[in-house]
Amino acid sequence: MAEAERIIGTPDTPGDSGATAAGAGEQGAAAERPRGRRRIVVLFAVAAFAYALDLVSKMLVVARLEHHQPIQLLGDWLELNALRNPGAAFGFGQAFTVIFTVIAAAVIVVIVRLARKLYSLPWAIALGLLLGGALGNLTDRIFRSPGIFKGEVVDFIAPKHFAVFNLADSAIVCGGILIVLLSFRGLDPDGTVHKD
């Protein structure tokens, strides 16, 4: 159990055998603050990386692929095909663009607020992926045509027999899968492990 907690990011128990209980508590509080800050740094670094990849990829797609023939990468199985999507991820809910914009903004606020209680590295990575993906698609919603909060998201990854998506969608899905796995393992964002 101790090895599992070390791997998945549970904060170490502070103090040593020679310290008093009060001294151990003070050392633990001092040790947990930097560990928590490191997790926050990881969260925002992952988010910035995912956001930058999404932003750069969409800029390249708009500049070089939009209004052109799709580029085939793996024959008929995978191609790059620039599309504008007013709906949610994978083209769902095209009549609710404003609602999805509000939801994306709410997700960003919740993740930023949760970051203060974050002591788990895997949760920092998962939330960073969600945050970066949400920011990527929210940027399209705000700044792309047809208007503010109604902008259409640039999608371009087109597998055969599947919806067209982008890197922000991929980051959101990967972050969501990681959160489900962490929840099944009983790991909370604050680093505690529980068994139901």
Active site (catalytic) residues: 155, 169
Q: Is the peptide bond before 146 cis (omega within 30 degrees of 0)?
A: yes
Instruction: Confirm if 128 and 172 have CB atoms less than 8 A apart.
Output: no
How far apart are the C-alpha atoms of 47 and 41, rounded to whole Å? Answer: 10
Residues 6+ apart with CB under 8 A from 101: 138, 141, 142, 149, 150
How far apart are the C-alpha atoms of 110 and 100, rounded to whole Å? Answer: 15
How far apart are the C-alpha atoms of 186 and 9, rounded to whole Å? Answer: 12
